[in-house]
Amino acid sequence: MKLQYDNLPTQNSTKHVKSGGIYTAIENAKTPFDNAPISGSTKAVTSGGIYTAIENAKTLFDTTPTENSTKAVTSGGIYDALNNIENIVVTDPQSDGNIIIAFT
C-alpha cells in the first residue's frame, strides 16, 4: 500500500504530513500578525502596522497647492491658498492684454 501525504497539516486527515508542510505551519504560527494591512490576509495586524498605514494615508494629500504634484489638496489648503491671494493675472486668449483682478 502506497502512503499518502498532505502538504500541510489538515484537520481530521489521517494522512502523514510532509516535512516542508510541518515547517511552514510552524513558521506561520510564529508570526500570527501582519506588520501592515495586506489584501487577502486573514491575520490580525499589529497596532504599529495600523498606525503606520494611517500615517502613510495622510501623505496622500498635499496641505497646500504644490506645483507638479499629482496628489489631491486638502480643503483647508485650498481655502488658505485662495484666502492669501493678493492678485491674479488672467490672460485673455482673444487679446494681447492682461486683465488684473485684485483680492483684498
DSSP per residue over 32-84, as a string?
-EESS--TT--SEE-HHHHHHHHHHHHTTEESS--TT--SEE-HHHHHHHHHT
The whole-number average pLDDT for the span 74-99 is 74
Q: What is the dihedral of CA 30, 36, 41, 46, to 10 degrees?
A: 50
Domain count, the chain: 1
Q: What does the buried/exposed string (b/e) look like for 93-102 if buried means 16 or more CB atoms within 10 Å of the residue's CB?
A: eeeeeeeeee
List 72's β-bridge partners, or say none: 61
List 91's β-bridge partners, or say none: 98
Average pLDDT, the chain: 83
Residue 24: per-residue pLDDT: 86
At 98, the pLDDT band (50, 70, 90 cuts) reads: low
Q: Does a structural domain hold residue 7? A: no
Residue 11: per-residue pLDDT: 92
Question: Can you tell me the distance from the alpha carbon of 67 to that of 63, in angstroms, rounded to the nearest whole number?
Answer: 12
At 68, the pLDDT band (50, 70, 90 cuts) reads: very high
pTM above 0.85?
no
At 87, the pLDDT band (50, 70, 90 cuts) reads: low
Q: Does a structural domain hold residue 29? A: no
List 73's β-bridge partners, or say none: 62
Indicate whether 8 pLDDT > 90: no
Q: Does a structural domain hold residue 1? A: no
Range of the domain at 76: 63-102
Grid cell for residue 78: 485650498
Indicate whether 26 pLDDT > 80: yes
